[in-house]
């Protein structure tokens, strides 16, 4: 009996230890499951963050490409504007200089010709005036007397006044002087007109030069504005490049963290699987052992019950025999007591 009790106590102790170990293993499994779920959540968060960073990187890359294209377009536009400005400046300056030079040359030639002609006419007029004055002062009296005498003789002889040579020369000189005066006035008028035309042409060319200068100023302002916009776009491009660089660094860091988390999670999962396999093997062994122990215990209990039943039946028989003996002894005592009473 004591051996069976000790076996039962040992079996109960082993069962309680197995139940306790099973609880501890379940608790450890729940902790590992939580860690595994946390690792999965961390992995999902990291993947989500990586996806966001990839999207941000793609957006920044597109913006950088747009900024590069805008900068190239601005640079091309600036170069074209600079070429147009240089070409217009060169063409306008060269054309204006050539036209002004041509106008000045032509005007100077006209003025020189007019001055030469005026000088010649003035010289001729002076000569005619001198000759006229000479004829008036020195030969006037003599010619008058000769003319009077000739006139008288002509009147008397019915001669024509066309034969009066000095008078004809005087008229010729007067006519030539008058013609020279008129030519001189005409040349002065032409000279004045030519000077006015020259001033008008120079003024008109100055206006064209001012207009070209205004156009060049407008183009220069546009060039400055385009250059400012290009600088702004370049600054924006530099900022976007810096943000993209930082994002790439952050993305690489997150990728490394993700790889580390995945490796750690894989290691933990592998360790958990190995531990679970070992625990499963251990549990199977314990369960098999418990089943064997239970089988042995059942057999022992059956044997014990059989022994108890046999003992009980023996006790019953012995009790019945003792009871019968007691009844017999009691009846014998009663008989003897009655005998003593009767005596």
What per-residue string of b and e applies to 296-324 under the rule 16 or more CB within 10 Å gives b?
Answer: ebeebeeeeeeeeeeeeeeeeeeeeeeee
**Size of the chain in residues:** 343
Identify the pLDDT of residue 155: 47
Q: Is the pLDDT confidence value at 243 over 60? A: yes
Other residues' Cβ atoms within 10 Å of the Cβ of residue 60: 21
What per-residue string of b and e applies to 273-291 under the rule 16 or more CB within 10 Å gives b?
Answer: eeeeeebeeebeebeeebe
- Considering 107-111, 157-161, 245-249, 275-279, the range whose residues carry the highest mean pLDDT is 245-249
Identify the pLDDT of residue 169: 58
Name 43's Cβ contacts closer than 8 Å, sequence gap at least 6: 258, 261, 262, 265
Please state, in angstroms and rounded to a whole number, the distance separating the CA atoms of residues 2 and 52. 73
How would residue 151 be classed by pLDDT, with cut points 50, 70 and 90? very low
Cβ proximity of 269 and 51 under 8 Å: no
The H-assigned helical ranges of the chain are 2-137, 140-157, 165-342
CA atoms within 13 A on the CB side of 207: 5
Q: Is the pLDDT confidence value at 139 over 60? A: no
Q: Is the pLDDT confidence value at 340 over 60? A: no
Minimal CA–CA distance to 240: which of 50, 70, 73?
70
Q: Is the pLDDT confidence value at 228 over 80? A: yes
Residue pLDDT, tens place only, 186-222: 767 776 777 777 677 767 767 877 777 787 778 778 7
Please state, in angstroms and rounded to a whole number, the distance separating the CA atoms of residues 25 and 31. 10
DSSP symbol at 158: T
Residue pLDDT, tens place only, 19-72: 676 677 667 767 777 776 776 777 677 677 767 767 777 777 777 777 778 777
Please state, in angstroms and rounded to a whole number, the distance separating the CA atoms of residues 305 and 322. 24
Cβ proximity of 46 and 187 under 8 Å: no
Identify the pLDDT of residue 176: 66
Q: Is the pLDDT confidence value at 232 over 80? A: yes
Report residue 51 as tokens. Answer: 């996806």
Please state, in angstroms and rounded to a whole number, the distance separating the CA atoms of residues 287 and 292. 8
Cβ proximity of 251 and 53 under 8 Å: yes
> Based on C-alpha coordinates, what's the Rg of the chain?
73
Please state, in angstroms and rounded to a whole number, the distance separating the CA atoms of residues 307 and 305. 5
CA atoms within 13 A on the CB side of 256: 5
SS3 180: helix
Cβ proximity of 81 and 219 under 8 Å: yes
- List the domain boundaries for the chain: 2-306
- The overall average pLDDT reported for the chain is 69
Report residue 284 as tokens. Answer: 């199977």
Residue pLDDT, tens place only, 317-327: 776 776 677 67
Lowest mean pLDDT among 1-15, 31-45, 67-81: 1-15
Please state, in angstroms and rounded to a whole number, the distance separating the CA atoms of residues 2 and 209. 133
Please state, in angstroms and rounded to a whole number, the distance separating the CA atoms of residues 332 and 321. 16
Residue pLDDT, tens place only, 264-299: 767 776 776 777 677 677 767 766 776 666 665 566
Cα distances from 205 to residues 95, 168, 213, 217, in angstroms, run: 10, 54, 12, 18
pTM over 0.85: no
Please state, in angstroms and rounded to a whole number, the distance separating the CA atoms of residues 81 and 2. 115
Minimal CA–CA distance to 209: which of 98, 102, 82, 104?
98
Q: Is the pLDDT confidence value at 157 over 60? A: no
């Amino acid at each position: 009996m004591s051996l069976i009790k000790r076996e039962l106590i040992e079996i109960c102790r082993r069962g309680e230890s197995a139940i306790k170990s099973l609880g501890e293993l379940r608790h450890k499994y729940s902790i590992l499951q939580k860690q595994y779920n946390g690792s999965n959540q961390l992995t999902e968060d990291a993947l989500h963050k990586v996806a966001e960073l990839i999207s941000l990187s793609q957006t920044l890359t597109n913006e950088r490409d747009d900024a590069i294209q805008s900068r190239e377009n601005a640079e091309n536009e600036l170069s074209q504007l600079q070429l147009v400005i240089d070409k217009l400046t060169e063409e306008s300056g060269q054309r204006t200089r050539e036209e002004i030079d041509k106008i000045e040359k032509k005007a100077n030639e006209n003025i020189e010709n007019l001055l030469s002609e005026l000088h010649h006419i003035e010289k001729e007029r002076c000569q005619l005036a001198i000759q006229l004055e000479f004829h008036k002062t020195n030969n006037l009296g003599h010619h008058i007397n000769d003319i009077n005498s000739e006139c008288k003789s002509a009147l008397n002889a019915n001669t024509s006044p066309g034969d009066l040579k000095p008078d004809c020369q005087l008229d010729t000189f007067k006519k030539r002087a008058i013609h020279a005066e008129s030519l001189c006035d005409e040349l002065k008028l032409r000279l004045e007109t030519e000077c006015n035309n020259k001033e008008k042409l120079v003024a008109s060319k100055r206006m064209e030069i001012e207009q070209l200068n205004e156009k060049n100023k407008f183009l220069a302002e546009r060039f400055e504005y385009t250059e400012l916009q290009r600088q702004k776009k370049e600054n924006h491009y530099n900022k976007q490049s810096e943000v993209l660089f930082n994002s790439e660094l952050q993305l690489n860091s997150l990728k490394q963290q993700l790889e580390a988390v995945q490796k750690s999670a894989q290691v933990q999962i592998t360790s958990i699987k190995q531990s679970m396999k070992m625990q499963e093997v251990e549990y199977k062994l314990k369960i098999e052992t418990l089943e064997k122990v239970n089988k042995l215990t059942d057999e022992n209990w059956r044997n014990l019950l059989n022994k108890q039943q046999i003992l009980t039946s023996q006790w019953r028989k012995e009790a019945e025999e003792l009871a019968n003996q007691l009844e017999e002894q009691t009846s014998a005592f009663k008989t003897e007591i009655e005998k003593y009473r009767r005596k």
